[in-house]
Structure 1
Amino acid sequence: MLFATPKLSRDLERRLEVLDQLRASLGARVGTPTPWIGKLGRQVRAESAESSIAIEGFEVPEAEIVDLVAGRTAPDPEDANRMALTSYARAMEHVAVMAGDPGFRWYDRVLLDLHFDACSFQRDKRPGRWRDHPIGVTSLTGNGMAYVAPDEKAVPKLMGEVVAWLQKGDLDVHQVVRAAMAHLHVVSVHPFSDGNGRLSRVVQSLVLARDGMLAPEFGSIEEHLSQNTPTYYSVLEEVQGGSYQPDRDATPWIDFCVAAHFGQVNRRMEQLETAARRWQFLEELAGARGWPDRLVIALEQSLFGGAERAAYAAQADISLPTASGDLRRLVDAGLVTQQGRTRSTRYMATDLLHQQLRRALAGYAGVAEAGHA
């Protein structure tokens, strides 16, 4: 037996209608080709992956996140924190592939494979296999158990029900609600030795991505969950009631997830606006100095993990000697600084560039506020 999808109140239905409008607007903006959307997509993908693993206590320095997720930096196999990040990112890449597969079907193997993707570095936790032992969740306060999962012998049957529901259950329910229920089903069965939260969030993202409105990184709510982890856990505790009781009302969980989507979509819209304004500032900066437009690419790269000669040359479609000359020009102007040597050389934005950008963004915000006055 699984939790029943609750009947939605008229108020919640109205909120979902507003959310649909916001998500459609976000989807249209994300789908519009712009010079900055690729960089923003990589940034958002990295932030989402880092947020999800942070919920479970993994920590990765902010400066390394984008490169690790993009595969430009290989993690030490013995470093659980960085391996958790790259493994989760791999699972989300798998989600993106399955989201666009017209022949996709839900099978238990889908969940098992996604779990293996996300937890493959934890070989002692049997990644990609159902658990064969009792398990529970310790309270955030450390005082006792917040949740005791179903007996391990019940896991295969319960997950069979979850998979069947994912394939054909409640198909007429709003996708945001259905994705929230998918998360609740998986995390309540707690079918794995570890990584149940990660897998639940991955499954939620896959259900959302299958509706085709937004790419997984723009439609997921990992960042909101990470920023509101105590509330996230407390709502789950309220709905679950300490043990597997699928006859309980899931409405508080649905309310929480809908609110999370509002928070997340607003953040994404703000990020899009900031990215557009940042690009405008960099174009104005290059134009005022009579530089070629392509230097905007190098300047933006320098702000996010650093510009590399080969990566800049590839994105700007120029030769390596031309790229070297461009980067040297930025160094001479005091806008970037060279770090490292030979293949490891990166060109990082200086404090001067960061300061100029902050002033420009504050100026754009002031103009926007005056326009609304």
Structure 2
Amino acid sequence: MEPYWIWQQPDWPNFHWQSEALTPLLRECVQTQGQLLGMTGAVTKALNAQNELNALLQNIVTSSAIEGEQLNVGSVRSSLARRLGLERAGDNPVSPRSEGLANLLLDATRHFSQPLTVERLLEWHEWLFPEQVEELFHQHIRVGSLRGDEPMQVVSGRLDRPTVHFEAPPRQGLERQLQTFLDWFEASRHQPGLDPLLRAGIAHFWFVTLHPFDDGNGRLTRTLTDLALAQGEAQAIRFYAMSVSILEDRAGYYRALESTQKATLDITDWLSWFLQTLSRSLHKAMVQIESVLGKARFWQVHRASGLTPEQIKVLNRLFDSSGEGCEHKIRAAQYQTQANVSKATATRHLADLVKKGCLERLPGGGRSTRYRLNTCPK
């Protein structure tokens, strides 16, 4: 019988790929990664800590959102902030859930030199489901243990006629298969000729195909990918969140996995999707850091401009509400609401900000008049 799933191939898991098709994508990712690191070098230590917090927060929240779970963002931020020494950023109460997720991602991205073992994976799984052992037991989810004997399938559609998108390898032999993966993961860190970014893509695909747990496989796969990326470049991973770009192309993510899991051991298409998504993540991080640098330059110019607290508040809000450079805009009515001032005061404040070069007045008149941040003051 012809193999249907990739793990049924006789040579599984001896993956191969077409290097010539991936070389341009790899080059683009490496160059962008270097540019990102260069930009972070121009940012103060305090701002870099804030950027790291934001990237970690985005990674955790969006990785759960990929699976359809909405987290309490404030709680996760507080758990991360405390661990990063940013106590003031943690104004929201933490929860066992947020504490576990913070432990999980920081263990992967900060303790990347430690070997990945079965015991470490089981601990990750427990962090993913804290204080839910009793509840999940009734749902046949074994927290901190490998999956049970039931067939592991990803399905959709009607209960009587489901569509099977994926079926994992049988439970029998899972320990051996998982150990084979872990042995490769450790040995491949120093494998000549294997690019660290390709290694991360291979690890992502291999682990999620094994599907070793009853639940949480996707989130642990993305955490493991962050670990692999951190092992390849320990600094850059602190400032970008690949799960954000995966969520934006969630349908493409599942299509890429499904088509490769039903194919031969040539995983070129999957690696191509992975590298393109990684590239988008790196570019997003660069835009965000450029916004931070622009804000720092702006206040360096205007630190002695004699602005009111209301003006400073609105300007900071304009910077923080968007990462699109010079596209931060506001109307008089919006200023009035945000600054909590009268209409006359809002008009006067805006005119003063234009005069001092903080804002530019855009063409148009009356109530529709808009003002834009002048992020390139002369």
Give the TM-score normalised by the residue count of structure 1: 0.71
Q: Quick one: structure 1 residues 25 and 302, their matched pair in 2 at CA, closer, same or farther if it must change by over 3 Å?
A: closer
- 5+ unaligned residues in a row in structure 2: which ranges? 1-10, 83-89, 322-335, 341-348, 362-370
Distance 1:38 1:301 in 2: 20
Once the two structures are superposed, the pairs formed by residues 1-373 of structure 1 within 5 Å of their partners are 2-34=12-44, 35-60=46-71, 66-67=77-78, 69-70=80-81, 72=90, 73-75=92-94, 83=97, 85-99=98-112, 101=113, 104-123=114-133, 124=136, 125-134=141-150, 135-139=152-156, 143-169=162-188, 171-172=191-192, 173-241=194-262, 247-289=264-306, 362-364=372-374
- 5+ unaligned residues in a row in structure 1: which ranges? 78-82, 306-332, 338-351
Report sequence identity in percent: 20
Distance 2:132 2:12 in 1: 29
Distance 1:299 1:38 in 2: 22
Q: Quick one: structure 1 residues 175 and 141, their matched pair in 2 at CA, closer, same or farther if it must change by over 3 Å?
A: farther
Could you tell me which amino acid in structure 1 is paired with residue 216 of structure 2?
A: G
Say whether the 8 Å CA contact 1:53–1:88 is kept in structure 2.
Answer: no
Residue 87 of structure 2 corresponds to none
State the structure with bigger RCO (CA 8 A, min sep 6), 1 or 2: 2
Please tell me whether Structure 1 or Structure 2 has the larger radius of gyration of its CA atoms.
Answer: 2
Distance 2:182 2:63 in 1: 23
Distance 2:173 2:185 in 1: 18
Deviation at 1:278? 2.3
Could you tell me which amino acid in structure 1 is paired with residue 143 of structure 2?
A: P
Q: Quick one: structure 1 residues 177 and 122, their matched pair in 2 at CA, closer, same or farther if it must change by over 3 Å?
A: farther
Q: Quick one: structure 1 residues 128 and 256, their matched pair in 2 at CA, closer, same or farther if it must change by over 3 Å?
A: same
Please list the CA deviations of residues 251-294 of structure 1 after superposition, one character each: whole Å capped at 9, or x if unmatched.
111010000011111100000111112233344554212799xx
What is the DSSP-based 3-state SS (H/G/I as helix, E as strand, rest coil) of the residue aligned with 1:58?
A: coil
Say whether the 8 Å CA contact 1:2–1:162 is kept in structure 2.
Answer: no
Deviation at 1:18? 2.5
Please list the CA deviations of residues 110-130 of structure 1 after superposition, one character each: whole Å capped at 9, or x if unmatched.
222222222334422322211
Distance 1:45 1:201 in 2: 12
Q: How many residues align?
A: 310
Distance 1:156 1:130 in 2: 8
Q: Quick one: structure 1 residues 192 and 272, their matched pair in 2 at CA, closer, same or farther if it must change by over 3 Å?
A: same
Residue 7 of structure 2 corresponds to none
Please list the CA deviations of residues 24-70 of structure 1 after superposition, one character each: whole Å capped at 9, or x if unmatched.
12123224442522222211111111110000111136666534543
Say whether the 8 Å CA contact 1:69–1:89 is kept in structure 2.
Answer: yes
Q: Quick one: structure 1 residues 11 and 238, their matched pair in 2 at CA, closer, same or farther if it must change by over 3 Å?
A: closer
Say whether the 8 Å CA contact 2:109–2:230 is kept in structure 1.
Answer: yes
Distance 1:196 1:268 in 2: 26
Say whether the 8 Å CA contact 2:64–2:71 is kept in structure 1.
Answer: no
